[in-house]
Structure 1
């Protein structure tokens, strides 16, 4: 079971002072997800896992400035899944996974009947959108102290979510197809040090065509690299290490004429274990003090009264500048 209580607002500001509110919502999303799983070892080199999961959702939105967008909706889906694992041979195994899944849509879009900007009637999104997916890969510890996984995956979605900046909401869009490659590595040169490097490459396109529009999925990530080093229980109780994350450029509109820049973030953490239950740790974010964007959008901005005109431009949220956080962790 899970419950999320969200307070969300899109405000109009000038010089960091709010002068109007486009929409403000109190959102409750509650879900329950029972499942059944059966694992069978058919032989020393073949095993399977068969599962069935139900996901039930309740979406409630209370809108303080537009009562027509208040509401509560319910939905649920059954999702069968199957995994087949062959091996190991030479500390290496092959696997194939497949099944049905879903993604939940924005609770605001599920209950929105009127556009909060122009008051026009809009179509409410379906609460849950079905997905069909499969992956095949290889896992290996053949090289001493190195664990590697190479995966090829595919996913079809009934509908994509597209962000509408001026309305502060996401809307259900066309069906899409995604596929890609992932390569994960963990290396332990000594018992107190772990080196890791993950590489991900993906291709995302809408599955149907619309006249005058392209087939790129806006803001679909294409390249991600995450790597770092972690040392454990060394130097009289110290632990931590640096982390590097790279997000590559991506399409911001359907015809791929506007693309984001890449984002690079370097951070580090240093902690000290005081005793069995108490730790103190410090984290430094954006060590390089880069001026990259945490997220980038491209859409039309309009001033009050501009209905059929405006300016197409980039909209972004910058990454945090260099910052330090110190905290305590207590285990019971």
Structure 2
């Protein structure tokens, strides 16, 4: 759908550039004086304290605009073990993070009845920078958190549903904003050794620069890993961070540089039939040359100033990245001689920022907060392509393109307290997107544009008896791959295609409550529904757009976070999160309307012990996600997956901490991901439709020693 936007993207970006010029930027937060909302990235001079659990979730009464909104503090982030950096998003209640390839590739995410693939409908930000990649070589919204150092994450603010004016592209199912530490109390040296050649080293420290008030924090991380795979993963990863922050009266400023490089060999999903008949080991590979390399360099800046009547905030970022990803999911189905390996490759430069102003006013004796914000982003890919390969050598180009994609959004929000028991949050955002594609396929080059108007509304009732109630509704969207907006022919030119709209709309509603009536227990309950106009996605494996129609998801969530100090068990915590959902295509006939890959239930239970000042600490975590329909009629399903993690630790001195982590504690044979499709796994053999799966890693032991100088 090619329409002229009601406001020109180029003009909006020119205004954004002028407003952001010279600002070092911090992402904005809309806040009413009576009830500040979660989601801001304001710098704070945080430290890396001993692991504690009090206040592990900041979900108290009066802190949120929806029952499903909340925040995770650093204390819990440091206390719970994680197999991969991307699993930090599992602190979002109901989120499941898995992997279907090598650990250098973006994770697979599940939330609210979505198989989010690599992040299509969940927006993630680190230090104000969007992590989701538009028009990505592998998948729309690709969210690779390999560059993250979990020990330096200060806070996670999460939201679910399209109810918040600040959240734009990819935020239909929700969003998470990760804020970083500014300083460390003492330098930190950490080394982790684990089974299957896992080696990780981290050094981080901070210093004050004289009388300037500027603090510098630096960190270096290096990691190698082979994993349980018959073809060793040979993962090699390097991270380097340098962060400068300054506080000056009512102003905070930050500037962060990050550099990341990773390379790996991957064992992708394999046919279940070959494993069941003994032809292939559970951790075996059918193409030992699969794998990839990923590089990322970023510079982000932020500034925030508190005024007598509110605050203004700004952010700016620049990212340069490169990816070469080699995969073979069908083996010899399409090319019986060379095999079906393909390479997805891109070189990207991304620039953007955000500017906002909050006005706190009193009108008629009632408190109001008005927020006006502007966001802008420009991605330039030169090139982004799909290639036929054999053992990582290019044989032919399937499709290659140069892409320029520009998006701009303006949003406003009015947060008002009308009575002691009623608060409203009304928002509106307008987004415009412009796509410019130069494709190697004749007829697929061109320009397109689209726009979206997204109203939002929330009502908060209470509190009564330490309980408040929420009603939320809103419209959101995700952008589609730019190549799909101009494509009129398949890559081989044999099939005609209809261009897809640049922005695919969503509409959501939610009813919920939150209570802290039990001492130490923060509990919330939500019933929600989300409709998507389209689940059109660009299939990077084939170089074309695949339509899947409009869909509807609905579900319930119950989240509980209990610090047991007030019931005579100091240092203990309990977490219990339960979610159930239903996903269906709206226009498909009954019996053929299942959404493949959607998760119908998620459960997570954790119990931890970490008394303040104590020498011993530990955490036990179980996560479960239910079976997924693999085809539209539900005739093929995956099995459920249940895994347990365990951490135990000891602090023999104030400087030294020793910890042991055990992942997949009960050594379950389960799947991280399942698919159902045609493949020819044996050269010259028959083709067959089969379930393909990527196994979870077996029981894995890791030992970490941390020393603070």
TM-score (norm 2): 0.40
Are the equivalent residues in 2 in contact too, given 1:200–1:223 (CA < 8 A)? yes
Query: 2:695 aligns to what?
Result: 318
CA shift for structure 1 position 323: 2.4
Query: 1:231 aligns to what?
Result: 609
1:267-310 CA distance string (max 9 Å, x none)? 1234667999997755332122212111111122257999xx94
Matched residue count: 324
Q: Which runs of no fewer than 5 residues in structure 2 stay unpaired?
A: 1-128, 134-320, 332-337, 351-378, 380-406
Change (3 A) 1:23 1:181: same
Q: RMSD of the alignment, in Å?
A: 4.2
Q: Which runs of no fewer than 5 residues in structure 1 stay unpaired?
A: none
Which shows bigger deviation, 118-127 or 39-48? 118-127
Correspondent of 2:342 among 22, 32, 36: 22
Are the equivalent residues in 2 in contact too, given 1:220–1:250 (CA < 8 A)? yes
1:176-226 CA distance string (max 9 Å, x none)? 111111111112222422201111111111111269x71111111101101
TM-score (norm 1): 0.78
Query: 1:173 aligns to what?
Result: 548
Which shows bigger deviation, 223-232 or 257-266? 223-232
SS in 1 for 2:573: strand
Distance 2:519 2:576 in 1: 17
Change (3 A) 1:162 1:53: closer
Are the equivalent residues in 2 in contact too, given 1:165–1:299 (CA < 8 A)? no
SS in 1 for 2:610: strand
- Pairwise mapping of residues 32-181 of structure 1 onto structure 2 (< 5 A)? 35-54=411-430, 76-105=451-480, 115=490, 120-160=495-535, 167=542, 171-181=546-556
Are the equivalent residues in 1 in contact too, given 2:641–2:670 (CA < 8 A)? yes
Distance 1:139 1:99 in 2: 20
Which shows bigger deviation, 228-237 or 182-191? 228-237
Are the equivalent residues in 2 in contact too, given 1:268–1:285 (CA < 8 A)? yes
SS in 2 for 1:246: strand
Query: 2:576 aligns to what?
Result: 197
Structure with higher strand content: 1
CA shift for structure 1 position 250: 1.9
Change (3 A) 1:42 1:106: same
Indicate whether 1:185 and 2:560 are aligned: yes
Indicate whether 1:249 and 2:627 are aligned: yes
Distance 1:61 1:278 in 2: 55
Which shows bigger deviation, 275-284 or 252-261? 275-284
Change (3 A) 1:26 1:119: farther
Considering Cα pairs closer than 8 Å and 6+ residues apart, tell me whether 1 or 2 has the greater RCO: 2
Query: 1:283 aligns to what?
Result: 661
